[in-house]
Amino acid sequence: MQRMNRRTFIGSSLAATLSAAVKPAWAAVPLKPMFAKADPENPTHQIDRVGLQLYTVRGTMKTDFEGTIAKVAATGYKEVEFAGYFGHSPKDVRAILDKNGLVSPSCHVDYKVVENKWPETLEAAKIVGHSYIICPWIDEKQRADAGGWKRAADLFNKAGEAGQKAGIQFGYHNHSFEFQPSKTLGGKLPYDFLLAETDPKLVAMEMDLCWISVAGKDPIAYFDQYPGRFPLVHVKDWVKDASSNSGYEGAMGQTVKYGGHMADVGQGSIDWKNLFARDGKAGIQHYFVENDDPKSAFDDIKISYDYLRDLRF
């Protein structure tokens, strides 16, 4: 996800609605796995609940919140992941979801919300029906601080413990900087540090399968080493392009050129069939399509949805 737009987007749109939360009569309903373990010689398995991270359609979410959600549902998506409620109360958000036959297993909230507004965030999540609350970003200054990553891990464990008592799982979403060696960690990868320093019962990982690929790391290796740790994933593609000026942030906040650009799912370089065949090992329950920089958001989400709907593995 893009740094400045992403952080500002989540912080401004969600924080304004937290005070509207009231205590609901709510209980999380456990979800069954989306598909069984794949047979590589008989690829008949498929995703039956394709989800969308609504950051992809953030432009129209700002101007037509309810209409955008209706269009997402009409495209075929069954689940959505929020990145802000755009001033709507949790109760209204839940009503709009119900009207359109959608559920929202998770949402993204800013790091400072986790630090300073966690109790009310949990209450809002209960109303909407979230089972997960995900932090998608750690500030550049904190990353560069000697104790920054440890503070993040400690906060995540604390948030996860409070979330567990409320029936909601806390999680962290990666970009690419977590896979760059950090001087403040003695050259270790921040992602490996977070996995080691957070309690797997308290902190889940939402792996962004594009950003880990851009960083040159293998998600399957993480699935094998940390089985069951990845109940959610972001599904977005990218194309390698040496002429591209696109870049991502390193662990210390520096810009790293990666020679490529984002693409609709199935039109890039990622081998989705191979990845999805490892769903059982990874523990994946929810797949959220995302495109940080869509050319035409509704056309793009349909292309990605159609690809995943038809994919067998």
Render 68-129 in DSSP notation, one character per residue.
Answer: HHHHHHHHT--EEEES--TT--HHHHHHHHHHTT-EEEEEE--HHHHHHSHHHHHHHHHHHT
pLDDT at residue 20 in the model: 46
Query: Any idea what DSSP says for residue 304?
Result: H
208-265 residue pLDDT tens: 999 999 999 999 999 999 999 999 999 999 998 888 887 766 667 677 777 888 999 9
Dist. CA 165–CA 288, nearest whole Å: 26
Q: Which of 194, 170, 203, 207 is nearest to 281 (CA)?
A: 207
Residues 6+ apart with CB under 8 A from 237: 210, 262, 263, 264, 265, 266, 267, 268, 269, 270, 272
Q: How far apart are CA 191 and CA 229, in angstroms?
A: 13
Helix (H, G, I), strand (E, B) or coil at 16: coil
Q: Tell me, what's the pLDDT at 255?
A: 76
Instruction: Give the chain's mean pLDDT.
Output: 89
Cβ neighbors of 243 (< 8 A, separation 6 or more) are none
Q: What kind of fold does domain 3-16+43-310 have according to CATH?
A: TIM Barrel (3.20.20)
Distant-in-sequence, close-in-space partners of 94: CB < 8 Å, separation ≥ 6: 127, 128, 129
Contact 287, 50 (CB under 8 A): yes
Q: d(Cα 126, Cα 135) in Å, to the nearest integer? A: 17
Residues lower than pLDDT 70 in the chain: 1-41, 248-251, 253
Neighbours of 239 (CB within 10 A): 15
d(CA 241, CA 239): 6
Pairing of strands 237-240, 260-263: antiparallel
Q: What 8-state DSSP symbol labels residue 29?
A: P
pTM of the prediction? 0.88
Per-residue model confidence (pLDDT) at position 18:
56
In this structure, are residues 287 and 51 in contact, taking their beta carbons and an 8 Å threshold? yes
Query: How much is the pLDDT for 258?
Result: 78
Contact at 8 Å (CB) between 123 and 49? no
